[in-house]
Amino acid sequence: MTGEETLREQMRLLQHGFIAKLPARIDAMEQAMHQWIAGGDEASLRALHRLLHSLAGTAGTFDLPDTGDEARRLEDIVASWLADDQIAESDVKAFAVALQDLRRLSEAY
C-alpha cells in the first residue's frame, strides 16, 4: 500500500468514526435546546451554539458539506438568539424541526 493509499484509508476510518458519533452529537444539541427552552438558561443556548459551531467546522473535513452547511445555518440562528432578547416561539419550533432535519441528514450516511 502506498503512502497516499494509507492516508486515504486513515481518512476513511476517521470519517466513519465521525459519522458514527453524529447521533450522539445531535442528541447533545437537542438536550441543550430543551434545557434552554425549559429554563431560558443562556448557558444552555451557548452550549448549543458551541456544538453547532464544532459540527459546522468539522463536517467539511470529513467530506460532509451538506451537514456542515446545515449546522452553520443553525449556528447562525442561535448566534442571533444570543444577541436578541426577543425570540418568537414559532422560530424555536422551526429550529427544532430543522434540528430533526439535521438528524435525518446525518442518518443518510
Q: Which residues of 70-87 are buried (b: 16+ CB within 10 A; e: fewer)?
A: bbbebbebbeebeeeeeb
The answer, yes or no, to whether residue 1 has pLDDT greater than 80, is: no
**DSSP H helical ranges for 1-88:** 3-39, 42-59, 65-82
Q: For position 84, what pLDDT does the model report?
A: 87
Mean pLDDT across 34-62: 95
| Distance in angstroms (rounded) separating the CA atoms of residues 49 and 33 | 10
CA distances from 58 to 18, 34, 67, 75, 95 (A): 9, 24, 10, 13, 21
What are the structural domains of the chain? 3-107 (1.20.120.160)
Query: Which triple of cell numbers denotes residue 99?
Result: 434540528
User: pLDDT tens digits for 49-91?
Assistant: 999 999 999 999 999 999 999 999 999 999 999 998 789 999 9
Q: What is the mean pLDDT of residues 81-102?
A: 93
